[in-house]
Amino acid sequence: MKQILFFLVFLLSFDTYLGQCNLGQAEIQVLITPDNYPNESSWKLFANNVQIAAGTTNDTTICIDTTACIRFEMYDSYGDGMCCNYGQGSYSVVWNGVQVATGGQFTTISTNSFNCPPGTSCENAISIDTGTYIAPDPNTFYSFTPDSTGMYSVTTCGLSNCDTKLWIYENCNNYVYNANNTGTLFYNDDNSLCGTRADIDAFLLSGVTYIIRVGLYGTTVCNGGIPFSISYDGPVIGCMDPQACNYNPDATVEGECFYYPNPNCPQGPDLTIIQSTIENSLEIRTEYATNCMVEEGCMNGYGNRTVLAFTTHIKNVGDMDYYIGNPNNNPDQFTFQNCHGHAHYEGYADYVLYTMNGDNIPIGHKNGFCVLDLECSDGGAAQYGCGNMGISHQCGDIYSRDLDCQWIDITDIDTADYILAIKVNWDQSPDALGHIETNYQNNWAQVCIRISENNGVKTFTVLPNCTPFYDCNGEMYGNSQLDCNGDCNGGVKRGDLDLNGQTENLDVQLYLEHSVKNNLITIPCNDLSDEVKGYELKVSGAKITGVSSLIDVNQFPMELYFDTLTNEIACLSLVDSLIPKYTDFTPILRVYLTDMSNEICLDSVIRILNKQLEPVNIQVANTCVESLSSNVMEQTQSFLIQIYPNPSKDLITITLPKINEAMELNIVDAYGKVVFNHTITNSDELKVKTSSFDAGIYTIQLNADKFSGFKRFIKLN
């Protein structure tokens, strides 16, 4: 007993020793309660913007200087936080015994700062008004609430010789500490007005609080702090009549209006891509694909990927602004869930890789942008940002190659010569005011490249004499494309098996039938490697007579199909839906069997596809069970059922052998739901009206004491 007590005292003493911090240090505890998917969680801890610790779901205790500004970032790679859909996960941070941060309900990231002097973090920004100030350190944060709507200037021009940068954020909700313009409303580094100093001209709303960050380029130093100023330049003066050709939706003070065909009416916006910027910025590098990147389509797989990155510089060389406006006023034109933390304008840019023969390689992606005035080197006046998007005439927007998704994923492409094409306003959409570009011929830029590989490392070479790209109609930089049959602007859709011009439920059902029978000849028009998801299984030891899903059809609408010859079952979702995540074994499928042997097995899991339509690694347990009817001596016998017409529209006739016992007939839809039931006695024919049935594949199940059978038919609209 004395030895045991001594051992316990020793352990307690050792733990206390580990928990003690030196003089001038404070103890920080990171405490993690994982949810049901702990592999999605990770965290980072920063002191004075320097990472000092990181982990996943592990707790930690460390000592740190009592004067340090601490930032804790909690991540969830799936984007559903730690609570409360899939477990009661949470995090908490304790500083010298006091809880200073806690949470669990967030999407991708939750950021908390504490023990920070005013201005050292986004959460404790210093409140200021218009005037001139000196930021004591790089990356000092300020909050500014305008008292008037109009144009404001935030600038370091003429105040020092330091190489400065400025950021303006909407809030701190999704703020990620970054040196570029990720998540910003407005941003500036260098500009034509004052060189390496920073200058932002922004349209700001009264009563809205904005976060301003003042910093330096790279590791440069600015002795004595960073001077900057905020000034109100006045309201926006312009035509306020929507019928006028020079209507300005941001104007609050009436200006002169013009109406067509007045010669003072502007011709329109004209977006163009600076090709030399792309050529001079190309680089190959390795990037780690996050769930967000795969979800957005800018990565074609997980893990480390090889990407060809580039900078996109888009200018408006027309005589009218390309106006997009506030995302909240036009939500259909924007995506709000993306990797950058702000709304993206859909359909704005398209990154495409073509073979030299003009075939589209399916590795590119459409990139939604936050469209803003990032430079006005041609003499324009900047005004647009992520909260009120657009590109002023004689201004431009730049997306640097160091931003996420400013690339194409070339991990899986062959070594060859290619055309890299970057398109702006690729679908030739008018702006939010209905203005059409005056020229679409300059909406393309292209670079001819050769992709090579040496010992597993990809490289590229820019090829000279890159001739303009012509679409299949012979139009330079045109948008016409070959359909899946190779016809230019043909009408055949990929996946339209019944060739009625639509991809619909019946096509999915036909795919299921071909899948389990393995009798569909793969051609481009029926290869849906990136359009469907589900699973395919095979059973042995019995004959399948029916299947039904046990998942709520509202949660996972799908089609089920089975084949008695191969004993395979296939399932595909009809819409953009997924089987919910489960933490325990959960029944998802009921299989009806006959002709059972002593043992029934899940013979094989042929394939399971995830949300990104990729094969999933699986583990299978308890694959076989003993048949409950293995001691039954007399087995049921199957017999022939005939249906005509098949396919049918309004009426089917079912013929079957006449036997001297009652038989129960069920008609079951693809979800396993019984849509018709009838008991047959002393009859070998039955007519069933099917006019009320939805189009699809149905199974007739016939059961008697010693006989059973089934037959499928197709119901047409």
Q: What is the pLDDT of residue 712?
A: 80
- Whole-angstrom CA distances from 459 to 286, 360, 395, 462, 604 are 12, 21, 34, 10, 41
Q: What CA–CA distance (Å, rounded) separates 41 from 109?
A: 10
Report the chain's mean pLDDT, rounded to a whole number: 83
* Average pLDDT for 594-622: 77
- The predicted structure's pLDDT at residue 582: 61
Scored b (16 or more CB within 10 A) or e, 610-625 reads eebeeeeeeeeeeeee
| Across 86-98, average pLDDT | 93
pLDDT at 515 over 60: yes
pLDDT digits (tens, 9 = 90+) for 281-322: 999 999 988 766 777 778 887 778 999 999 999 999 999 999
The span from the CA of 149 to the CA of 523, in Å, is 59
Model confidence at 47: pLDDT above 60: yes
Q: What is the predicted pLDDT for the residue at 345? A: 73
pTM for this predicted structure: 0.64
As beta bridge partners, residue 88 has 83
Least confident among 451-455, 585-589, 618-622: 618-622
Distance CA 350, CA 345 (A): 12
Instruction: Give pLDDT, residue 280.
Output: 95
Identify the residue with better confidence: 301 or 442. Answer: 442
Q: What pLDDT digit, counting tens, does each position of 342-375 carry?
A: 556 766 788 989 888 777 777 777 666 678 898 9
Residue type for 212, please? I
With 0-12 / 13-18 / 19 or more C-beta atoms within 10 angstroms meaning exposed / middle / buried, residue 517 is middle
Which percentage of the chain shows pLDDT scores above 90? 40
Query: Which among 525, 620, 609, 520 is positioned nearest to 573, based on CA atoms?
Result: 609
Measured CA to CA, the distance from residue 540 to residue 595 in angstroms comes to 11
For residues 227 and 156, is the Cβ–Cβ distance under 8 A? yes
Q: Would you report the helix, strand and coil content of the chain in percent, each value rounded to 5? A: 10, 40, 50
Mean pLDDT within 8-33? 66
Per-residue confidence (pLDDT) for residue 452, from 0 to 100 = 93
Q: How would DSSP label each residue in 179-240?
A: SS-TT-SEEESSBTTTBTS-EEEEEE-TT--EEEEEEESTT---TT-EEEEEEEEEPPEEB-
Cβ atoms of residues 631 and 591 within 8 Å: no
Res 530: pLDDT: 43
114-128 average pLDDT score: 92
Q: What angle do CA 91, 92, 98 make, to 5 degrees?
A: 175
Does residue 465 carry a pLDDT above 60?
yes
What is the pLDDT confidence band of residue 70, given thresholds at 50, 70 and 90? very high
* 613 pLDDT more than 70: no
Contacts for 452-457: CB closer than 8 Å, 24+ residues apart = 452/415, 453/415
The Cα 249–Cα 246 span in angstroms is 10
In degrees, rounded to 5, the angle at the alpha carbon of residue 62 between the alpha carbons of residues 58 and 67 is 135
- pLDDT of amino acid 339: 54
Rg (CA), the chain: 33
**Highest mean pLDDT range out of 131-140, 482-491, 511-520, 703-712?**
131-140
CA 658 to chain centre: 58
The full DSSP string for 269-312 is --EEE-HHHHHHH-EEEEEEEPHHHHHHTS-SSSEEEEEEE--E
Q: How many CB atoms lie within 10 A of CB 299?
A: 27
Taking 90 as the threshold, does the pLDDT of residue 497 lie above it? no
Provide mean pLDDT across the span 436-443: 93
Give φ, ψ of 414 to 5 degrees.
-80, 160
Question: Can you give the pLDDT at residue 502?
Answer: 80
Decide if 559 contacts 509 (C-beta within 8 A): yes
pLDDT at position 5 is 35
Specify the range with the lowest mean pLDDT, choosing from 199-203, 362-366, 471-475, 637-641.
637-641
Q: Does position 328 have pLDDT exceeding 80, yes or no?
A: no
HEC sequence for 27-50? EEEEEEECCCCHHHEEEEEEECCE
pLDDT tens-digit map of 130-181: 999 999 999 999 999 999 999 999 999 999 999 999 999 988 865 666 778 8
Q: Higher pLDDT residue, 338 or 262? A: 262
pLDDT at 489 over 50: yes
